[in-house]
């Protein structure tokens, strides 16, 4: 019965020449898909035009100015900057799957032996969830059990470069792991000066053997 059902679907795909229109999840340009073929190979979770597909290709680089290895998936400008702002500021949560999740297989492969800690946000002490918790929930990595809080009086995005250096005074440990962790991956969405990452590293160094960081986007060293 199973194979006869598959044969029926294949016959329908071969005989159906009609195509339906669908919009790109990001830019809303119309794209053409063949729904029967898609249903045959599995549900299609991504609907992208060719241009957005190319723009989402990972362009990772490493920040050599920080005290630990820090991988950045994209430069924080243009298309990627707008994508992140649409998610964070305008709450377009449908775009979540095109941020960290879009690179989950690469992330799982490179950081499978790491436990992660996420950078605290200004929502830490409010009823709002930290948007990073939502961004990393399907990456397949293990949480370290370390939680941090930020008591900064204003958002870092509103600070000048001088005030951003003071961020280290406002990040503190809230919860410690029950045992020492071998490898920790600090995850943040945007890195500019790197002060937040360095502040987190300073707090967790006594409890871990090795630290690395992964950021969705960031400025190049000479542009920060």
The predicted-structure confidence for 206-222, as pLDDT tens digits, reads as follows 989 999 999 999 998 76
Per-residue pLDDT reduced to its tens digit, 149-169: 887 655 655 555 555 555 667
Give, for 172, the enclosing helix (H) or strand (E): strand 171-175
**pTM, to two decimals:** 0.80
Phi then psi for residue 42, to 5 deg, are: 125, 165
- State the average pLDDT for the chain: 81
Residue 5 has pLDDT above 50, yes or no: no
Residue 28: how many other CB atoms lie within 10 Å: 10
pLDDT at 110: 96
Which of 173 and 165 is assigned the larger pLDDT?
Answer: 173
- Residue 216: both structure tokens together: 């969705």
Strand 30-33 to strand 20-23: parallel, antiparallel, or no bridges (unpaired)? antiparallel
Helix residue ranges, H only, 56-154 = 78-88, 104-111, 131-136
Structure tokens at 150: 């930020």
Which residue(s) pair with 185 in the sheet? 116, 212
The stretch 79-84 carries a mean pLDDT of 97
Helix (H, G, I), strand (E, B) or coil at 12: helix
Kindly indicate whether the domain formed by 56-223 is annotated with CATH number 3.40.50: yes
For residues 46, 50, 51, 54, the Cα torsion angle rounded to the nearest 10 degrees is 80
Q: Is the dihedral of CA 175, 178, 184, 187 positive or negative?
A: negative
Instruction: Give residues with Cβ within 8 angstroms of 213, minimum separation 6.
Output: 66, 68, 69, 70, 71, 185, 186, 187, 188, 191, 197, 201
Domain ranges of the chain: 2-41, 56-223
To which residue do tokens 């019965």 refer? 1
For residues 164-180, average pLDDT? 73
| Structural tokens at position 128 | 């709002």
What are 163's two structure tokens?
Answer: 């005030």
Q: Return the half-sphere exposure (C-beta side, CA atoms, 13 A cut-off) of residue 30.
A: 4
Beta bridge partners of 132: none
pLDDT digits (tens, 9 = 90+) for 116-130: 999 997 644 555 667
């Amino acid at each position: 019965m199973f194979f006869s059902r598959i044969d029926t679907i294949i016959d329908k795909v071969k005989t159906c020449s009609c195509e339906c229109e669908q919009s790109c999840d990001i830019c809303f340009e119309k794209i053409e898909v063949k729904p029967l073929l898609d249903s045959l190979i599995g549900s299609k979770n991504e609907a992208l035009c060719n241009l957005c597909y190319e723009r989402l290709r990972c362009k990772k680089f490493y920040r050599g100015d920080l005290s630990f290895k820090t991988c950045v998936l994209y430069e924080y400008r243009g298309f990627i900057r707008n994508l992140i702002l649409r998610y964070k500021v305008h709450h377009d949560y449908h775009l979540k799957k095109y941020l960290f999740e879009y690179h989950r297989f690469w992330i799982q492969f490179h950081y499978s032996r790491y436990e992660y800690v996420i950078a605290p946000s200004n929502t830490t002490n409010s009823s709002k969830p930290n948007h990073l918790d939502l961004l990393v929930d399907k990456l397949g990595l293990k949480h370290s059990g370390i939680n941090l809080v930020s008591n900064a009086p204003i958002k870092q995005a509103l600070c000048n470069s001088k005030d951003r250096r003071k961020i280290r005074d406002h990040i503190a440990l809230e919860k410690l792991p029950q045992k020492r962790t071998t490898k920790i991956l600090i995850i943040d969405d945007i890195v500019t000066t790197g002060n937040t990452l360095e502040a987190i590293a300073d707090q967790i160094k006594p409890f871990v053997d090795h630290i690395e960081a992964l950021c969705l986007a960031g400025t190049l060293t000479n542009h920060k």
